[in-house]
Structure 1
Amino acid sequence: MRKLLIGLFLVLAAPLLAAPSQVPHITSEAQFAELARTSPGGRYASFPQVMFVIDRAAKGGPMLHFVNSKQYEFHIDFVQRTYLSTQDTNALLDANYSKDNRRFIFGSVLHYAALGRYGIEFWEGDELNAEILTLTMALVQQNFPAPLAFKPNSQHQSVLAATIPGLVTIDQNAVYASRSELVLNPGKATGRLRIIPKLDDDVLLTPSDIVVLGEAPLRLSPVAGIVTNEFSTPLAHVNLLAKSWKVPNGYVRDAVSKFAPFDGQWVRMEAGETITIRLATIKEIAAAQRVQAKRKVRIAKSDLTFRALPALGDLRVGDAVRVGSKAANLGEVAIQRHPGKDDFEVPPGFAIPFAWYQDFLRINGLDRKIAALLLDPRMRSDGKYRREQLAVLRAAFNAGMLPAGLGAKLAERRAAAIGDGGVFVRSSTNSEDLPGFNGAGLYSSVPNVTDQAALEAAVKVVWGSVWNDGAFAAREAAGIDHRSVMAGVLVQQGMNAEASGVMITENPFDPSEWGTVFINAKRGLGIRVVEGRRVAEQLLYRSDPESIQVLTRSTDDAMLSFDAGGGVREVAIEPGRMVLTDARAKRLAKVGRRVAIMFGNRPQDIEWLMIGETIYIVQSRPYLRGN
């Protein structure tokens, strides 16, 4: 019996004996893989990681421990459980991440397979100095079989790296782009696969399509799932739309060729830690078709009796039934902001309620034109025809007459609420921010409107954007009654932003990570941020302990700025330069968390801009987590 128990113990212990808790050297790629773990979320998502600890107080000089990262989740776990230190967790954190005289150096070696390189990384909040970084690079390299480089994860680390002669570094953007996959919205879907190398206006998509796109599109009508060959940021409109539709989407390198054998067939797509596509079963196809047949989003009844032009400071969330959620939510932020206490401003503005849109339709006969279009069966079967008819309708909006007296009221309200200077004219409809229908990016905005005639024209453009092709297709797929859609308008002081972007008050890669804010930033006006065609500066704020992780720097070589004659112009800039310092990013993240509190601490998708050191909030909407 004793021999049996000993034998059983040896069998159970074999995996641990094969993979020790730590080693002083790594001699091969196979040994690295034996110790490494790959996490789908968190700081080092999708890259194999082996943690290391350097004990600077060891007898005989600094001692290196490569940690079995499958066995230990954190450096401190290893230090405490192997009795290298008996300090508690808080004391270890305080002593070994910010002190020059620290005993322990905590870092990781990561393998970026697509780059064919290994790199050393530290926690983004680690306030390294040159001595610690130089010692680490030398000691780890002496005990590692492949060349190592340093990948900075913060502003401080980037600045430090530049001061050390001969230090080889790895660019953050190159690492971000080296991923072979990136799941932006997890989930499962069944649909007909369509390979589309380049999406154009004549392609008519259906809610039953799973699309594999050669290029990340600026706009997309509702589909069942999305895979692209190109990266786009988590806050690009396409990804926000995917979340609102609750469909899986992500990036796969060479997706067009990889999934080409499935083109035209019904498939099952699953996006979790990775993205997989296989042929769907008959049962899965039938279930997907039943769900699609039942999908319908309802819009709350609107108040069409209200014709005042309220200032933002007079609006609350409940006024969404009169002016739309964008204007109402921003009014809530403006009202709840504590002057002198909150570290942000809300540019002044006013709203044009739904009643004026309804009047405009009636006096110009547009209500009859819309009714006729909605009865036309070709609007739902012929993509080119639908696009042409909607363009004709929008042209009729542009040529229409404003309701009597509205022009004078606009001039008077603009002078009282905003004053001189350009304004932004933005949509604020009742078909946005609905459960199951986000509506991001569907409607139009007009920037830097300078004179009265341009303002009146811009209001008609925004009203007409209710009938943008993408907006029509999205509502059609969601089962929204087009006749119930009402367009409000938000007129707001134009701010010629020096930096701008979007932030969400949680980690989109790992929503369970409490106290995080994800920030996208670019120089100039924020129009380019949500397009997602260029990589924005991406930062992740963590509150405990406080840190800013740099995911990417902006790749833009141009920014948008106000033109003196109205509208915007493009200005050349140096690509790759930092948009936000750590100090500004921390301020911005705290503003985001403050705004989230105003809405019951529910995650928010917030548009912001900066001029000098002043932060401005220009939109807050609920952030949809997707599946």
Structure 2
Amino acid sequence: MFRIVNESALVGERLTLSAFTQLSGTLGGYPFVKVVVDRETSLIHFMDSRENLFHVKYIAAEILHITPDELERTLDQFNYEVYHRPDRRFCLGILALHGGDRRFFSLETVEADTMTAEMLQYFYTFVREHVDPSLPILLKPANHLQETHVAGIPADELPRVLSHELFSSAPFVPLNPGTTEGRLRVFRTDDEYHAAQRPEWHDIIVMHRVPDDIPRLAGIVNSEHTTPLSHTNVLASGWGIPNAIQVGVLEEVVALDGEWVRYEVDANGTGIVLEPIERPASADAKPSWLATAITLDEPEAESGRILPLAELGWRDHVRYGTKAANLGELCEVAASGSNRWLGFYRIARPPRDNLLSYLARLLDTDEAGIDDAARALFAEHVRVPRGIALPFSLHQRFLQSSPRIQQTIGKLKFALEVDVPQVDAICVELQNLIRATRFPDDLLNLVDEAIIRHLSGVGTFVVRSSSNAEDLAGFSAAGIYESVNHVSDARGIFSSIKEVWASLVSTRSSKLRAQAGISLDDAFMGVVIQEQVRADFGGVLVTTNPMNRNDFRNVYLNVSPKVTDVVEGGDAPLQYLFNTVEGGGRTVSLGAAESDVDDKTKLRLQQLALAGRLLQSHFSPDYRFGQPVDIEWAADAEHFHLLQLRPYA
């Protein structure tokens, strides 16, 4: 039986390439058509997807003929019927067309779908019979559960492509959508970049992988795959500049090097746009972001004791810096819970009044037991390494102990105010003075006594920066201050403290703060001395989907044998999306790894993702609980150790 219901879908007929083109919308750079298979009537519906109508709304209106109000009243039950019921009537999916050397369709269900192996095979076979046979169709498992099901079916019976295989071969990934105008700068190697004239604020850089030490500029194009959570990409997000991966583009745009262009990254596009333009008049003006005021709370740098992290709270950022204060808050939440951590799940997501029932299912409890179950999650799985925090006042006392340091600080302030070329040389001079100046005995004794009192028995330390001039609205500062790992003795600790203090006046940090309107007089540096945990692996978690900010379900998680590989652009990490509403996850990229982690580790990562979502609520600056957080973590066989937390731009 073949028929067309109306203009909203092609029903019961084979989908030709021509019909696909007429019906398709665009998602993630790929044309797609939504598919509904009605098992009761043995009919297939290819929806007109140009306006991206939800599957359930189409089924309600065109097949079941129920009103929108009735659908809203019964939406949770309706979702169970179409996504989870073992003997469901409807199978729902997306058919996307992939180009390149080998064109093919991928068929994927929604990420929360719990189809069995038999149902996946039925769905694939039914769709295959109703699509133009000139192109292959590959099933794309939508989550780890489906990947497990598919693994038990021979590939010749059920051809498949995994999410990470598509991501690693995707020619275009829009990391930060937007449009700008600027001068294109193309660098084939890191050496070529560092030997060239320093990029200016109106430049758009094209490189295989743009390095972390970039100044503030107009746009970024990576010609190779990179993680969205590298320091470079986090800075680009915070600056609000267009940023994308366009594989192989470097050689294609060499001819435009030095030319003025219009650069566009469209989240639903199929590639970046680079169009030559005349040099705009705005290039001679100051950048608009110079007029954006960066707000700093008034610091307290005259007093403050060395304290264990567990005795700090968020209010202490004015004396110890944001990183130390957030670590103190983490200690408190891990030990005692929070009256804020359910905030994200209390927000209405129409037609639902809240998401608490979803959280209860993820915690394997009822709604009355959510808070206790959340406490148990943290008690069983989450730790914060012990440490101490050195206040701003210790840094100031050290600087004031040296007249030469004071004189050079004065020179740097003047050079930054008038923006002279000598800034670089003065910064280097000042950093070297800080490194070479002897620790005053009274300060040395204070630090030594605090370590003996609070960190005796620790074999290896991390010495971390904790400034007041970072993690601010409009000024992320990700990666611009130093932290030192693998410190094992007193000599190493004191030299590392000075290295952290010196990073406050590096050329890069000084210029970025000056561009943001933050005076050197207002910038202070605290230090965290923390136990370095032994870990099997580590990574970064952000409680959002960086490639789709409207996705409230998923968080993005990177995993690497070394945390620094994730944030410093080394070997590409494994990358995941984990759903913190319905549960489940999917592997986005294997990075440099040869294989995925095992199922037990995936379940542990799901727990980390959920803990991260609860922490997002606790650290939210407002009562919408929507501000994502960026968490660096390390894991051993039993626990996740949270190393630092900051807002994610």
Q: TM bucket by the smaller chain?
A: 0.7 to 0.9
- Contact in 1 for aligned 2:560/2:573 (Cα 8 Å): no
Task: Name the structure 2 match of 1:159.
Answer: 148
Change (3 A) 1:428 1:71: closer
The residue type equivalent to 2:648 in the other structure is Y
Deviations 1:504-555 (A, max 9, x none): 22332332333x34222213331111123444333233344334243223x2
Equivalent of 1:605, from 619, 622, 630?
A: 630
- Contact in 2 for aligned 1:503/1:518 (Cα 8 Å): yes
Taking the TM superposition and a 5 Å limit, the aligned residue runs for 1:130-141 are 130-141=117-128
The residue type equivalent to 1:201 in the other structure is H
- Contact in 1 for aligned 2:35/2:92 (Cα 8 Å): yes
The Cα shift of 1:440 comes to 0.6
The Cα shift of 1:433 comes to 1.4
Q: Percent identity?
A: 28
Partner SS for 2:328: helix
Change (3 A) 1:445 1:71: closer
Task: Name the structure 1 match of 2:565.
Answer: 528
Deviations 1:350-386 (A, max 9, x none): 111112212222324323233334555999676xx86
Equivalent of 1:467, from 493, 505, 511?
A: 505
Task: Name the structure 2 match of 1:328.
Answer: 325
- Contact in 1 for aligned 2:212/2:479 (Cα 8 Å): no
Change (3 A) 1:452 1:130: same
Partner SS for 1:510: coil
Q: TM-score, normalised by structure 1?
A: 0.84
Change (3 A) 1:68 1:83: same
Partner SS for 2:63: coil
* CA distance in 2 between partners of 1:20 and 1:498 (Å): 52
Deviations 1:253-293 (A, max 9, x none): 34334444543344333333344333556776269636266
Task: Say whether 1:623 aligns with 2:648.
Answer: yes
Task: Name the structure 1 match of 2:312.
Answer: 315
The Cα shift of 1:621 comes to 1.4
The residue type equivalent to 1:23 in the other structure is V
The residue type equivalent to 2:518 in the other structure is I
Task: Name the structure 1 match of 2:275.
Answer: 278
* CA distance in 1 between partners of 2:455 and 2:121 (Å): 55
Task: Name the structure 2 match of 1:178.
Answer: 169
- Contact in 2 for aligned 1:120/1:149 (Cα 8 Å): yes
Partner SS for 2:449: helix
In terms of mean alpha carbon deviation, does 267-276 or 385-394 score higher?
385-394
Task: Name the structure 2 match of 1:593.
Answer: 613
Task: Name the structure 1 match of 2:189.
Answer: 198
Equivalent of 2:23, from 35, 39, 48?
A: 35
Equivalent of 1:454, from 492, 516, 523?
A: 492
Name the Cα RMSD after superposition.
3.0
Q: Which runs of 5+ in 2 are unaligned?
A: 337-374
Q: Which runs of 5+ in 1 are unaligned?
A: 1-15, 40-44, 558-573
In terms of mean alpha carbon deviation, does 395-404 or 450-459 score higher?
395-404
- Contact in 2 for aligned 1:378/1:386 (Cα 8 Å): no
- Contact in 1 for aligned 2:263/2:275 (Cα 8 Å): yes
Task: Say whether 1:247 aligns with 2:283.
Answer: no
Task: Name the structure 2 match of 1:4.
Answer: none
- Contact in 1 for aligned 2:576/2:588 (Cα 8 Å): yes
The Cα shift of 1:21 comes to 0.9
- Contact in 1 for aligned 2:323/2:644 (Cα 8 Å): yes
Change (3 A) 1:467 1:202: farther
* CA distance in 2 between partners of 1:349 and 1:592 (Å): 21
Change (3 A) 1:315 1:97: same
The Cα shift of 1:163 comes to 0.7
Equivalent of 1:496, from 534, 545, 561?
A: 534
Taking the TM superposition and a 5 Å limit, the aligned residue runs for 1:224-623 are 224-273=218-267, 274=269, 275-279=272-276, 285=282, 289=286, 291=288, 294=291, 297=294, 299-339=296-336, 340-341=375-376, 343=378, 344-364=382-402, 365-375=404-414, 390-421=427-458, 422-514=460-552, 516-553=553-590, 555-557=591-593, 574-577=594-597, 581-600=601-620, 601=625, 602-623=627-648
Task: Name the structure 2 match of 1:78.
Answer: 58
Equivalent of 1:50, from 17, 30, 33?
A: 33
The Cα shift of 1:412 comes to 2.5
Change (3 A) 1:270 1:579: farther
Equivalent pairs, count: 581
* CA distance in 1 between partners of 2:82 and 2:137 (Å): 23
The Cα shift of 1:338 comes to 4.0
Partner SS for 2:261: strand
- Contact in 2 for aligned 1:235/1:530 (Cα 8 Å): yes
Taking the TM superposition and a 5 Å limit, the aligned residue runs for 1:120-135 are 120-135=107-122
Change (3 A) 1:377 1:138: closer
In terms of mean alpha carbon deviation, does 191-200 or 125-134 score higher?
191-200
* CA distance in 2 between partners of 1:201 and 1:483 (Å): 30
Task: Name the structure 2 match of 1:561.
Answer: none
Change (3 A) 1:610 1:327: same
Partner SS for 1:337: helix
The Cα shift of 1:294 comes to 3.6
